[in-house]
Amino acid sequence: MGRKPVFTEAQMLAAAAVEVARHGPRASVVGVAKSLGAPSGSVYHRFATRDALIAAAWLDALRDFQSGFLTALTQPDLDEAAVAAATHVPKWCGRHLDRAILLHSFRLEDLVDVWPEPLTPQRDGVNEELHRALRQHAHDRYGRATGVALELTTFALVNVPGAAVRRFLDQRRTPPRWSIDAVAAAILAILRSHP
């Protein structure tokens, strides 16, 4: 019978996010192991390479972020749903700064070439539910989910909140409270600008 692991996968993924937030591209498995107080071999036992660890941590952070965003977007009142989804971005970044910096540091396109084979099925279609929810919101709000309606919805709910937190994540700072209020006001003005 094998020995029970001392550190869970969730702990390793959290430590990887901290390592990336602190050291950026210089993040290493050795640094992750050191922050856990574990031998690097125990991390390599779970993740064969640094890239596999970073990709798994990135995917885990993205799933957690998207879960809250998608839940917020299901509210029945369209304006309340839009505000809840858009303000989820700075709120989540504030609660999970290390994971937010990890997501901000890499795009899916950056990881495709180094993505470990076992995670490929999880990578493919990672944004499908998000795109589906944005199309549904555009349809519910404007009566169609194509053209300007979809572009405006995506701009308001994805691009504006993302831009609002970018500077703070670049500075490794928690987005301030006023950024939440500013995002809420901005996205409603944008969504209501469409005839």
Using pLDDT thresholds of 50, 70 and 90, give the confidence band for residue 7.
Answer: confident
| Residue pair 103/65 in contact by the 8 Å Cβ criterion | yes
Residue, of 101 and 105, whose pLDDT is higher: 101
> Tokens 């994805």 correspond to what residue?
158
pLDDT (0 to 100) of residue 115: 62
Q: What is the CATH number of the domain that holds 115?
A: 1.10.357
Q: DSSP letter for 162, please.
A: H
Domain presence at residue 30: no
Exposed e or buried b per residue across 141-176, where buried means at least 16 C-beta atoms within 10 angstroms of its C-beta: bbeebeeebbebbbebbbebbbebbeebbeeeebbe
Domain presence at residue 18: no
Is 0.75 topped by the overall pTM? yes
pLDDT in tens, 58-96: 899 999 999 999 999 999 999 999 999 999 999 999 999
Domain presence at residue 9: no
Domain presence at residue 180: yes
* Dist CA 193 CA 86 (whole Å): 17
Domain presence at residue 86: yes
Average pLDDT for 124-132: 87
Residue 176 phi/psi, 5° resolution? Answer: -70, 165
Domain presence at residue 156: yes
pLDDT above 70 (res 99) = yes
Tell me which residue of 95, 116, 117, 119 sits closest to 180, measured CA to CA: 95
What's the chain's average pLDDT? 89
- Number of structural domains the chain divides into: 1
Using pLDDT thresholds of 50, 70 and 90, give the confidence band for residue 1.
Answer: very low
Using pLDDT thresholds of 50, 70 and 90, give the confidence band for residue 5.
Answer: low
Tell me which residue of 147, 153, 155, 181 sits closest to 78, measured CA to CA: 153
DSSP-based three-state secondary structure for 73 = coil
Q: DSSP letter for 127, please.
A: T
Domain presence at residue 17: no
DSSP-based three-state secondary structure for 76 = coil
Domain presence at residue 148: yes
* Dist CA 39 CA 46 (whole Å): 12
pLDDT (0 to 100) of residue 112: 61
pLDDT in tens, 25-47: 788 889 898 988 888 888 888 88
* Dist CA 20 CA 31 (whole Å): 9
* For the chain, percent of residues with pLDDT exceeding 70: 89
Q: The domain containing residue 149 runs over which residues? A: 61-192
pLDDT in tens, 152-162: 999 999 999 99
Q: How many helices (H) and strands (E) does the chain have?
A: 12, 0
